[in-house]
Amino acid sequence: MVFDRTGAWRRLYSASPWSNLTGAPICALEHLCVLRPFFDEVCLVLNQPGELEDRARSEGIPVWKSDLLFRGLRQGGIGRFVSGIGAVARSRLSYVSGLTRQLRRAPGILHVHALAPHLPYALLAGRLAGVPCVVTIHEPIGNTRETRMDLRVVQCLAALVVFLSEHMAQSSPAFLQHKGVVIPNHAELLEVQTKTPARRPCFVMAARMGRRKGVDLFLDICRRLKESGLDFEACLVGEWATEEIRQQSMAFLAANELEVHVSIMGMRNDMEPVYAQADFLLLPSRRDPFPRVIMEAMCRGIPVVASRVDGIPEMVEDGVTGLLVEPEDVEGFVVAVARLLRDPDLRARMGAAGHKRAQTLFAPESYVKAMLELYASLPPPRGGVGGGGS
């Protein structure tokens, strides 16, 4: 692929919402990995230390970092607000001023990922530095006050918006649609691994375990499968959304004697051993625009049982690459999961079909082409030099 850089920006920054190895942060890093050949320099912008920084450095991706403090001041009462506001304000000022200096010293496109607390500060730095800003929205577009404020910031300070699915674009406010484009995320296509038929079938949920992703529904599905007499293994992979949800989930496991069936695996930096043992993925989300875990499963030939919600039907072809169930329909999920548990041939067919579909839907080459075309539509740098060479 050839990218004509005449008069184009020659540096690319990718601002991650967090530094853990969850969906949006991984996408922020992999965005740079696949686009690096087309720019003189790339840089990952972080607001906290974490595993993502280590992974970026192992990939040879430079990192710019300035810590943003998040202390929940609005929920802590007046005493906590007064005692903490100074440090929080200083961290935001340092982030904005530091990133502004970096972008002025080495101008380039600033691509901000996710509607998260870093968003207004990254976009403000881009505006002060006079560089174009692009935002990829990774989460459901709700109607909370925080989301409405974030979207207005995007409207004012971002040149372009990337939606991950058609559903996300169509459900977004009209004032964003005119500057938006749909570009699905990408994932590496891997060889399909042959599963060992002698063991108990295993399904996996990999997510930030909270209400939005449906961890409570997952556990209830497991309870009903156990009561029906089916033998299976189930794995929960990821961090807990809150300590309260973790405690409630552990109590549910104990009360229903599910420990023999359900394993709590926590966060995993390397998901390959998890995928190697998974016969299929179960994701009973209540909201989920374009879950990365579904991409990764399909790219490995793993069938998917998931909610028919948001952008998931654009990923999973119901009855072909997996099974879709209405959100919160626990009985429907039980029927779908039991069907795959009992039929290894069906799992193999759906996995193969998903692997084939992923070749087109999540191809890195398609992602790169779409992003480069998007960037080419941005106003060129003053003087057409793109901030200089590397």
Q: Looking at the structure, tell me whether residues 239 and 111 fall in a common domain.
A: no
Query: What is the DSSP track for 55-85?
Result: HHHHTT--EEE-------GGGSHHHHHHHHH
pLDDT in tens, 72-114: 544 554 545 445 578 889 999 999 999 999 999 999 999 999 9
Task: Give, for 322, the enclosing helix (H) or strand (E).
Answer: strand 322-325
pLDDT of residue 197: 63
Q: Looking at the structure, tell me whether residues 173 and 242 fall in a common domain.
A: no
| Domain coverage including residue 248 | 202-361
Q: Looking at the structure, tell me whether residues 347 and 368 fall in a common domain.
A: no
- Give the angle 11-186-159 at the CA atoms, nearest 5°: 45
Any domain includes 119 = yes
pLDDT of residue 133: 98
Q: Is the model's pLDDT at 163 over the cut of 90?
A: yes
pLDDT of residue 203: 97
Q: Looking at the structure, tell me whether residues 345 and 356 fall in a common domain.
A: yes
Q: Looking at the structure, tell me whether residues 28 and 106 fall in a common domain.
A: yes
Q: Which residue has the higher pLDDT, 33 or 81?
A: 33
pLDDT of residue 83: 52
Q: Looking at the structure, tell me whether residues 177 and 316 fall in a common domain.
A: no
Q: For residue 316, what is the domain's CATH number?
A: 3.40.50.2000
* Residue 98 CB neighbour total at 10 angstroms: 14
Q: Looking at the structure, tell me whether residues 124 and 206 fall in a common domain.
A: no
Q: Looking at the structure, tell me whether residues 251 and 288 fall in a common domain.
A: yes
pLDDT of residue 141: 86
pLDDT tier at 389, thresholds 50, 70, 90 = very low
Q: Looking at the structure, tell me whether residues 219 and 312 fall in a common domain.
A: yes
Q: Looking at the structure, tell me whether residues 116 and 165 fall in a common domain.
A: yes
Any domain includes 390 = no
Q: Is the model's pLDDT at 350 over the cut of 50?
A: yes
Q: Is the model's pLDDT at 383 over the cut of 70?
A: no
pLDDT of residue 192: 81
Average pLDDT over residues 213-241: 96
C-alpha dist (Å) from residue 32 to 170, 290, 321: 27, 19, 29
What is the rounded CA–CA span in Å between residue 293 and residue 312? 11
pLDDT of residue 85: 73
366: left (phi over 0), alpha (psi -120 to 50) or beta: alpha
Any domain includes 4 = no
C-alpha dist (Å) from residue 90 to 85, 122, 176: 8, 15, 31
Any domain includes 1 = no
Residue for token digits 């300590």?
243
pLDDT of residue 145: 87
Any domain includes 118 = yes
High-pLDDT (> 70) share of the chain, %: 92
Any domain includes 45 = yes
pLDDT in tens, 164-191: 999 999 999 999 998 999 999 999 888 8
Any domain includes 38 = yes
Q: Looking at the structure, tell me whether residues 162 and 36 fall in a common domain.
A: yes
Structural domain total, the chain = 2
Q: What is the pTM of this model?
A: 0.89
**233-237 and 322-325 as β-strands: parallel, antiparallel, unpaired?**
unpaired
Please check whether residue 362 is in contact with residue 184, taking contact to mean a CB–CB distance below 8 angstroms. yes
Any domain includes 215 = yes
For the chain, give the mean pLDDT. 91
Q: Looking at the structure, tell me whether residues 81 and 211 fall in a common domain.
A: no
Q: Is the model's pLDDT at 339 over the cut of 60?
A: yes
